[in-house]
Amino acid sequence: MFGRKEEKKERFKEIYSQGNFTQTKIIQDIETGINYLVRVESSGVGITVLLDKDGKPVITSPELYE
């Protein structure tokens, strides 16, 4: 317990990115597999759950991106 630092595993993984000054990214929650759409601009950041054609969250197996 003491003297040993526990290694933290990253919770989110960036699986797609495009753009320079204005960026669009897709990040994945490694624990749930849910994908999020992130928009980064000079004025701020927006994030939302990425939805499929039926309005359900896009869930991807984390193993696909390892």
Q: Which of 9, 56, 10 is nearest to 34 (CA)?
A: 56
Spatial contact of 18 and 42, defined as CB atoms under 8 Å apart = no
Give Cα 16 to chain centroid, integer Å.
9
pTM over 0.85: no
Write the CB contacts of 24 (distance below 8 Å, at least 6 apart in sequence): 17, 18, 37, 38, 39, 40
Spatial contact of 18 and 24, defined as CB atoms under 8 Å apart = yes
Per-residue confidence (pLDDT) for residue 61, from 0 to 100: 83
**Chain position carrying tokens 């989110």:** 12
Give me the average pLDDT of each 10-residue run along the chain (66 residues).
71 93 94 95 95 95 68
Per-residue confidence (pLDDT) for residue 23, from 0 to 100: 94
